[in-house]
């Protein structure tokens, strides 16, 4: 069975975000970019399924500008068998457009399982997995904290965290699974594999070749940083605390 994994290029989680001077967006020039952490977890799970004999091939896919090739080379260095880059140029790609592109790629690649991170740390939309499952009319298991594949019965058992504890669901394959933090710990790419990945060919296609039209439905008017927190104050009694909460903070 083939497993397709969607990975996204985002600003590294350790970088302190800065807003552009004209407030048109987040500054990304000369900023370290990395694979989205949830996508790393999705890729790691696909690799573990292959190593366990439940999957035969892992294909990494990324949608975005030319620099996404670097993210795909990281995926290849981690162990992905092949990589596909859907070059969207400079056009902003929103979750629905990504879902339509992934749907088109699924029809080309014919995977038995599509795995995505539950969300990206840049936009925090948490929409793409659900959207592509709806477009494909596939079963979906979101926020997976454990995944078990049954090759004989062509089913997947997914444990997912809910408010009341752990929910276990059974999915008929093909299916879409989105990964949560506690699913696994992604591996590091070794130096030999990083060097090998540099010479591997990444298949490049465009949205037009997949018969998908990208139309940004949202326009960013302004991006502003959250206000800085004011310094705290030490109170001498409970009565003083209640008075400040009531008369200054006005929360009670």
- Structure confidence by residue, pLDDT tens digits, 113-130: 999 999 999 888 999 999
Q: What kind and span of H or E run contains 149?
A: strand 139-150
Q: Tens of pLDDT along 96-108?
A: 999 999 999 999 9
Q: In this predicted structure, what is the pLDDT of residue 90?
A: 81
Would you say residue 29 has pLDDT above 90?
no
Measuring CA to CA, how many Å separate 129 from each of 96, 123, 235, 252? 10, 14, 48, 40
CATH architecture of 2-226: 3-Layer(aba) Sandwich (3.40)
Q: In this predicted structure, what is the pLDDT of residue 195?
A: 92
Percent of the chain with pLDDT over 70: 100
The confidence band for 222, taking pLDDT boundaries of 50, 70 and 90, is confident
Lowest-confidence segment of 24-33, 123-132, 192-201, 209-218 by average pLDDT: 24-33
Would you say residue 16 has pLDDT above 90?
no
The rounded distance, in Å, linking the Cα atoms of 142 and 121 is 17
Domain boundaries, the chain: 2-226
The confidence band for 160, taking pLDDT boundaries of 50, 70 and 90, is very high
Q: In this predicted structure, what is the pLDDT of residue 127?
A: 94
The DSSP secondary structure of 179-228, one letter per residue, reads E-GGG--PPPPPHHHHHHHHTS--EEE-TGGGT-------------PPPP
Would you say residue 244 has pLDDT above 90?
no
Would you say residue 19 has pLDDT above 90?
no
Q: In this predicted structure, what is the pLDDT of residue 248?
A: 85
Would you say residue 92 has pLDDT above 90?
no
At 46, phi and psi to the nearest 5? -65, -40
The confidence band for 251, taking pLDDT boundaries of 50, 70 and 90, is confident
Angle formed at CA 16 by CA 116 and CA 195, multiple of 5 degrees: 55
């Amino acid at each position: 069975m083939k497993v397709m994994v969607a990975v996204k290029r985002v600003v590294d989680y350790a970088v302190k975000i800065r807003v552009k001077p004209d407030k048109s967006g987040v500054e990304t020039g000369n900023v370290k970019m990395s694979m989205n952490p949830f996508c790393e977890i999705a890729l790691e799970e696909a690799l573990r399924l292959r190593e366990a004999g439940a999957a035969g091939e892992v294909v990494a896919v990324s949608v975005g500008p030319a620099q996404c090739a670097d993210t795909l080379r990281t995926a290849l260095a981690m162990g992905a068998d092949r990589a596909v880059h859907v070059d969207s140029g400079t056009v902003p790609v929103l979750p629905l457009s990504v879902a339509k592109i992934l749907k088109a790629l699924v029809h080309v690649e014919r995977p038995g399982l599509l795995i995505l991170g539950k969300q990206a740390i840049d936009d925090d939309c948490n929409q793409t997995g659900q959207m592509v499952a709806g477009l494909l009319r596939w079963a979906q298991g979101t926020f997976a904290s454990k995944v078990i594949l049954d090759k004989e019965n062509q089913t997947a058992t997914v444990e997912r965290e809910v408010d009341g504890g752990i929910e276990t669901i059974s999915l008929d394959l093909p299916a879409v699974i989105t990964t949560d933090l506690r699913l696994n710990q992604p591996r590091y790419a070794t130096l030999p594999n990083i060097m090998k990945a540099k010479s591997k060919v990444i298949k490049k296609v465009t949205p037009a070749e997949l018969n998908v039209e990208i139309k940004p439905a949202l326009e960013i008017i302004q991006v502003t940083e959250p206000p800085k927190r004011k310094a705290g104050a030490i109170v001498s009694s409970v009565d003083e605390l209640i008075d400040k909460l009531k008369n200054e903070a006005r929360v009670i």
